[in-house]
A and B are shown apart, each in its own frame.
Chain A
């Protein structure tokens, strides 16, 4: 590896590092924050901090640097949110901190869900991925697979039932 490729201040190297770690870091941040937008914000802050300190960060330790910075940034937002919440509760005692709609997505749950999707029967997985990944409507899938919309919906329904069964009661 050339010196340039190890120099984080080189924009190509920086982008390579970003492509390598950003997705995992975003996922890591999501499980902490349970908020995609917040995870995204911290992700961006983290990489900007890496860029600003590019000459000081050892290339071999860039991963641990990213996760440390991201964790600290998360803890700072938690502190900040605690202040915000305290302020809000002093204004209105009637509001609760947690919304009843709030659903925690734990890492274990998500990994289990991913495994279940991967192990779906072929006919169900095909329809499921076309709908969820390719963002195709049931009608479009029906045309493409030369089956009825009803059949597509049945497969989707069955896929969700399988997921529910595999994951168990929550």
Chain B
């Protein structure tokens, strides 16, 4: 066969050979062996250029896969994975805390209100007016712990330690009946049954039935005994034993939703006695007449005191 001149402008066989339409054998018959070698090498060169220019991402994927499979000293290519784990844990924990917070049961009483609360273990709490009580439902079985702001009477079922936390101190019992009054800086605990331990300002008191401990405004604590079987407020009456008048006024305010202006009197007066929760006039009379104080309701709910 006569060798064709590949330089002829009208020839197309090299293109056809490169595309695979013409075989190597056919090309061999068309060009000199020297040219055939050259074109074969050019073709391989082109293939090599293309292969070497090809993206290297697929190799990276294989490297990653090999790293992941090797195990042992080979670490994962994503060392940040633990960060993701930690982040996930934080989110889970955060979620749990949010969840736990949601499980914090809270009770509030308004002016003059009382509320009886049954706890999960059968214990009973009677919440006096203007008081807040909260506890964590989830942790209750392992940790009987209650936060109290205000006054409450507890009838605690026997069981694990039962703690009442207040801003002024804590009360710890095993199973008993007691009253806690933690109102601002007033802190009073009376034991009605069993034994109660009171922790306040690094002091510890053990109360037996009938005993009361009280600390007002961080002063030294007072302790005394009485014979009542339950706090009077449960029966609709607030009782006081040598209590500064300001706390009596505060109790009146929380029972009747009133504001008592005591600027006109000596607020160091000590009061012993009680007032009813059922009738504001009677209550005001009982407290202030006995102390020789005048009271006048200038506007609705605003009572002004003055010395006689």
Contacts and interface: CB of A to CB of B under 8 A. Distances in A.
Interface in A1-40: 9-11, 14-15, 18-19, 22-23, 26-27, 30, 36, 40
Given A22-B59, A23-B56, A156-B18, A105 B77 contact: no
Nearest to B5: A161
Interface of A: 9-11, 14-15, 18-19, 22-23, 26-27, 30, 36, 40, 43-44, 47-48, 51-52, 103, 105, 109-110, 113-114, 117, 131-133, 137-138, 150, 152-158, 160-161, 163-164, 167, 169-170
Contacts of B16: 153
A26 B57 CA distance: 12
Interface of B: 6-7, 9-16, 18-19, 34-35, 37-42, 44-46, 48-53, 56, 59-60, 62-63, 66-67, 70, 73-75, 77-80
B22 to A, nearest CB: 11
21 contacts: A18-B60, A23-B52, A30-B48, A30-B52, A44-B63, A52-B75, A103-B44, A105-B41, A110-B49, A113-B42, A113-B45, A137-B19, A153-B16, A154-B11, A154-B15, A157-B6, A157-B13, A161-B6, A164-B39, A169-B38, A170-B37
B4 to A, nearest CB: 11
Nearest to B19: A138
A164 B17 CA distance: 15
Sort A-B residue pairs by CB-CB distance and give the 7 closest, nearest first.
A156-B15, A153-B12, A153-B15, A160-B14, A157-B14, A22-B56, A157-B15
Given A18-B56, A19-B56, A27-B52, A9 B40 contact: no
